[in-house]
């Protein structure tokens, strides 16, 4: 039924529950599981950019990957492996979360997106609409929102 499952994580409790649900679905259908987090672009001042370049901290992509982002992806992978998922890919992308998720799902032929109901941007979500609401409205495929 599902061959490509995308789980979106951001370190929040609803995202952890979504990762668990997505891993269980992927294991059940022997689907490929994509675990993704989306970071917003960093605004780097010219002086900070000069420092980062001097210290060899700038690379591709053009932001410094912090420990929290690595842990978010690592936690999702560990749970997926423990759930019996055999095919796992991880992705760290930069951009506006909802738009980036929808575009990735379309480009990678994802047939199920699983994400939490509210993430770490709760205040912004209540004013502008949550990422889960935007993704479920715009995605071409089935979207499961985990509470």
pLDDT, one tens digit per residue, over 14-46 is: 999 999 999 999 999 999 999 999 987 766 677
User: How much is the pTM?
Assistant: 0.80
Q: Give the Cα separation of 31 and 5 in Å (integer).
A: 7
Is residue 118 predicted with pLDDT exceeding 50?
A: yes
The DSSP result for 68-84, as a single string, is HHHHHHHHHHHHHHHTT
Return the percentage of the chain with pLDDT > 90, whole number: 64
Give the chain's domains with CATH numbers. Answer: 4-146 (3.40.50.620)
CA 4 to CA 23: how far, in whole Å?
A: 11
Task: Identify the pLDDT of residue 39.
Answer: 84
Give residue 63's pLDDT. 46
Q: Is 38 helix (H, G, I), strand (E, B) or coil?
A: strand
pLDDT digits (tens, 9 = 90+) for 122-132: 444 443 468 99
Q: pLDDT higher for 44 or 138?
A: 138
């Amino acid at each position: 039924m599902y061959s490509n499952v995308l789980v979106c994580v951001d370190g929040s409790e609803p995202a952890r529950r979504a990762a668990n649900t997505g891993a269980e679905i992927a294991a059940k259908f022997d689907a490929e599981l994509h675990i993704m987090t989306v970071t917003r672009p960093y605004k780097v001042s010219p002086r900070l950019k000069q420092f980062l370049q001097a210290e060899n901290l700038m690379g591709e992509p053009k932001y410094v990957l912090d420990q929290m982002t690595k842990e978010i992806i690592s936690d999702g992978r560990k749970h997926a492996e423990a759930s019996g998922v055999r095919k796992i890919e991880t992705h760290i992308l930069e951009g506006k979360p909802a738009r980036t998720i929808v575009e990735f799902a379309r480009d990678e032929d994802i047939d199920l997106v699983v994400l939490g109901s509210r993430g770490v941007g709760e205040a912004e979500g209540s004013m502008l609409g949550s990422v889960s609401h935007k993704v479920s409205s715009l995605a071409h495929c089935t979207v499961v929102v985990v509470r």
